[in-house]
Amino acid sequence: MNPKPIIQAQLNPLLAWNSSRRKLQSSFYMAYASQVGFSVRISKSRRSRNDESIIMRRFVCSKEGFHLKKSGDLDEGKKKRKRATIREGCNAMIEVIQKYYGRWVVSKLVKEHTHIVEPPSRVRFVAPEEYAHADPYLGMEFSSHEAAQTFYYAYASRVGFDVRIRLSRRSTKDESFVMRRFVCTKEGFTPSEENGEDVAAGKKKRSRTPVREGCKAMFEVIRKDFDKWIVSKLVLDHTHELAIVPSKVHYIQSQSEVVVLSKAPGEQLGMLSTGAKPAAYDNNIPIWNERKSTQHFSFSIDDTQKLLGYFKRMNGENNTFSYAYRVDNNNCLTHAFWADVRARGSYYYFGDAVTIDMDFKADLNMLPFVMLTGVNHHFQSVLFGCALLVDQSEESFVWLLENWVTAMGAHHPGSLKTILDEAISSAVSRVFPETRHRFCLNDMFSKCAKRLANIYSLYPSFEEEFKNAINTTESIEEFEFSWNSLLRNYDLGNNNWIQYLYNIREKWVPAFLKGTFTAEIVPDLKPESLREVLFKKYFNKKTPLPVFITLLDQAMIGWSERESLEDLASSFTKPILNFPSNLLKQVSEVYTRSVYNIFEREFVDSLGYYVEKIEDGLVGKFKVIKDYACASPCTSTARIVTYGFSDKRVRCSCGKFEECGILCRHILRVFLTVDARTLPELYVLKRWTKDAKSGFVLDEVLRFNNLYRDAVRFAREGSSSDEVFNLAQQHLQLAYAEVMNIKQRYG
């Protein structure tokens, strides 16, 4: 189920801050900040001259003020690291003072912020006792720095000390956190003031009560491999006595949720929600119940207008350009989809296997950009459509898929690959009930590494056995046997995450996906992705939307040009045949260069296999094995191939042809055994041939697509010099006049 936001009642700071309990008011404003979507720090306090009790406190937004430039850095000749800009001069604040009879009253209040505030998707209540089973240790792993912070705050509350953040370090690339150090609040020493005098101001300073005692206790975590945080430094011993403080409340806020850490969450629950119950953290719940906030960020009105202007201009140039959009009550963009003529043409030829690429889900600093992609006949990436989704809910994905399939002529894909995500999965089942939906295997393994981190660390051999149970089992029976063995060996029968994986096995385990066309020829050969080219550097929130669109268009033109160059090379060149084979000669004339190289590798590898005929008749059955010496004991390495001597139909137990459209080495080895000289046309898939884009098309989209690619190349070469430009323009005008004459003549 989707995690429902439990923030329901709007809190009013002006009305609520009238109480005799200062700690309750502190908790209240933090709860209010968590509800609205900002962080709080204490800016100023004032104590009584009589008993040094606090009589005034000012709470401000964490973005209040500005960073001060420190002097003296140039004296040492050292280059200082550029600090991330966190404070933006926000004026939001609340100040309370203690009045008569100990009552606390709001004396100053500013509710407006100078930056965007975004409420979290949910609130999680955690009691320190939930972490009673674990103490911190070096090398301890967490999924995020917020998770590490929650753990250490819970540990501190349970042991009896308080915590503050002592040091943080951010990445120089994207300003995300890469290190955080948490220390005891008694760490360090309170600065002393000589004779209580402020020499510069000539004023007598109030004597401060020392609260720091030089405690060394600390807990430092650093980021590893982008999705893992590890404890790098740890000191557990304190230099002071520990005392349990049962009323302490912590609010750990991230971009997706607020964690309320309290021994008595009832009071905070009343502040934050109406009728909600505390939600304890369970490391075994399905991963999508912890997914990021559906509200990624917001576009401005200016961005919205510029994007819609681009859509209208593109549609005016060619009415086959498809687009759709939605705006919110402030006329700011929330949904946008577009597909140009190239995307529609590519889908017509190569839309049998589609991937929904959502790289931004792994990095909250990226634009919420969605790509629908596939693979062409040169095993290159092709684009079928783009989208920007500020809200990643089920309804948003339903809206996207419905608009996309309409633009593609209502032709549903044969298979669709996505990440594991409840919103996407539900949307796919609603829009494409007949499409074979599968989850990306790499994404599944990545999620398993996080969810089963404790198992991975306790049992070094588990990861290899786990992946073997998934990757090396070819039949459902083999998978079931390996899976059950895994559960018994590591006592995982009651692990909720393992049970959940098993329940959805038909969407991600290869043994259950046989017969599904995926266009994935070999696992280690991947088409180019925009992630390596543009995503990390340019497709982030700091990139202006017009710049983003321009960069995307340039990248897509580059993809189109590469496809045209490969079309040209495959049409006018032939690969060198390394072996005197009729099969290789035949396919070299029909396959593109890239696909031929893959087929040739399969053919060469087939020569290292042995064939044993195990059944005679019109349909022969053969056992194909890598090493004949181990044929009996190593039956799992054998493949069973059936071959029809009359109709030339062939099938292998590995199922490679059904998955990618290229014959496997086992079938090719049987062809050599039965002396099959040519490849039956049935097993030459047109989508991998040089003529993949041939044939009569009813829509003018594909004709426009071809002319567009040629025109781009013509413009690029024709503008290289003045002489070439004049010649190119002259011929272009003549060609245009001739086209218009023919068009008028034939209507």
- Mean predicted confidence (pLDDT) in 708-720: 81
DSSP letters for 521-535: --TT-----HIIIII
**pLDDT tens sequence across 67-115:** 666 554 445 555 566 555 677 789 888 888 887 656 778 888 888 888 7
- Give the confidence band of 742 by pLDDT, cuts at 50, 70, 90: confident
Strands of 40-47's sheet in order across: 18-19, 104-110, 93-98, 54-61, 40-47
**pLDDT tens sequence across 374-395:** 999 999 989 999 999 988 889 9
pTM exceeding 0.75: no
- Give the confidence band of 203 by pLDDT, cuts at 50, 70, 90: low
Structure tokens at 673: 């055994």
**pLDDT tens sequence across 511-565:** 999 889 999 876 545 556 655 555 556 666 777 888 888 888 888 888 888 898 9
621 forms beta bridges with 615, 642
Res. 591: pLDDT tops 90: yes
Q: What percent of the chain has pLDDT over 70?
A: 74
Which range among 248-262, 297-311, 409-423 shows the weakest confidence by mean pLDDT? 248-262
The closest alpha carbon to 246, from 266, 265, 264, belongs to 264
- Write down the mean pLDDT value for the chain: 79
3-state secondary structure of 294: coil
- Mean predicted confidence (pLDDT) in 342-367: 84
pLDDT for the residue 697: 54
Res. 200: pLDDT tops 50: no
pLDDT for the residue 253: 56
How far from 237 is each of 185, 215, 218, 226, 243, CA to CA, in Å?
A: 14, 8, 9, 31, 14
**pLDDT tens sequence across 620-669:** 999 999 865 444 443 447 899 999 998 899 999 999 999 999 999 999 99
- Mean predicted confidence (pLDDT) in 702-714: 73
CB 435 within 8 A of CB 373: no
How far from 36 is each of 119, 432, 664, CA to CA, in Å?
A: 5, 37, 58
Strands (E), 127-198: 141-142, 163-170, 177-184, 197-198
Which range has the top average pLDDT, 259-263, 445-449, 716-720?
Answer: 445-449
Sorted by sequence, the CB contacts under 8 Å of residue 42 that are 6+ apart come out as: 57, 58, 59, 60
pLDDT for the residue 310: 92
CA distance 205 to 191: 13
**pLDDT tens sequence across 453-499:** 888 888 889 999 999 999 988 889 999 999 999 999 999 988 889 99
Sign of the alpha-carbon dihedral angle for 462, 463, 464, 470: positive
